[in-house]
Amino acid sequence: MFVVAITSQIIPQVYGTSGHPVVLDGYEADDTTYANLSEAAGRAVIDLDNLTSTAITNEAILIEDVDYVTIQDFEMKNANGGLYITDTVSNVTIRRCYIHTMRTKGIRVTNWDTDTSSYSSGCSYITIGGSSGQGNVIKNIGINTAGTDIVVAKATDVITSYNKVYADNTDYGIDGISYLNGAENGLIEYNVIYGHNKSGSLGEDGIDIKDDNRSDATHDILIRGNYIYGNQQQCMMFQTGTYNIVAIGNYCKGNGLRGNAQPEINGKYGSHDIFVISNIIEGGAG
C-alpha cells in the first residue's frame, strides 16, 4: 500500500497469517529509506488535524480484530494518538514510523474492546521497533499528565526496542515508555529516551512500570541497554505492586530535573523483586 496524504483514520480490515503478515507501507515495499530513526519527509502522512478530541476516532491508525499486521514507513501527526492497538490483537509489528505532535499517546497497546465497551484479556506478541535500524521516532507527545510516548497495558510479550522517544518542545513531553496494569513478559531495550520536560512541572519519567488500578500488577519485564537522560523525574520508576523486574546495563544521565531530590531509579508503593544490575548513573539532580 502506498499513498501520499491521508486525513482520516486507517482501520486495517484484513488478517495476515504467520510468516505472511498484511503490510501497510507508507513508502515503497522493501525500501529502507526511512530506516535508522529518520524524521525526513517523503513517506505517506496521516494528519488528522485535530489536537482537541480524545475520541478513539481521533487515532491515526486503529488496529482491532485483526492479527498479523505490519505498519511501516508512515508519518503520523496532529491527532489524539498515533497507533491504537486494542482488544486481543496479536502479532503486530510497528517499524520505521515517525509519530509526532499528538495530544495524548504515540503508540498505545490496550485491552479495551471497542465492540463491547469492556476490557478483554489483552493483546500479545506486539513488536514496536524490534531490531537495529527498524525503530520508530516518537516525538512531542502529551499535553497533560495522561501523555505517554509508548504505553502498554494488560498485554503479554510486547517488545519495545531500538526506538527514539523524546520531546524538544516544552508544550509536550510527559512519560517516555510505560508498561502498566498487568503487562507481563515484556522487553524494553536499546531505546533512547529524553526531554520529557512539559512546562508547569508536568514532565515525568523515562520508563515507568506500574499498576494504575492497584489490582493487576505489572510483572516479568526486562529493561536493558536503554539511554535515558534529561527527563524531569526518574530515569526509571517501579511502583504500585510491580514485581519481577530486571533493569540491567542502562545508562541514566541527568534526570530528576524537577528537583525535590528525585532519584534516578526509584521503587515504591509495594513493588518487590526488582533487580537493578550494572547500570550507569551519572549526574542526576536527585
Largest CA distance in the chain: 51
Q: What pLDDT tens digit does each residue of the chain (286 aa) get?
A: 445 689 999 999 999 999 999 999 999 877 888 999 999 999 999 999 999 999 999 999 999 999 999 999 999 999 999 999 999 999 999 999 999 999 999 999 999 877 777 788 899 999 999 999 999 999 999 999 889 999 999 999 999 999 999 999 999 999 999 999 999 999 999 999 999 999 988 899 999 999 987 788 999 999 999 999 999 999 999 998 899 999 999 999 999 887 666 789 999 888 999 999 999 999 766 5
Write down the residue that cell numbers 526511512 correspond to: 34
Predicted local distance difference test score (pLDDT) of residue 286: 53
Three-state secondary structure call for residue 260:
coil
Q: Is 186 exposed, middle or buried (0-12, 13-18, 19+ CB in 10 A)?
A: buried
What's the CA gap between 94 and 10, in Å, rounded?
14
The residues near 30 (Cβ < 8 Å, ≥ 6 apart) are none
Predicted local distance difference test score (pLDDT) of residue 213: 77
What's the CA gap between 264 and 280, in Å, rounded?
10
Predicted local distance difference test score (pLDDT) of residue 149: 98
Q: Which whole-number Å values give the CA distances from 115 to 13, 57, 64, 119, 215, in the listed order? A: 14, 13, 9, 10, 24
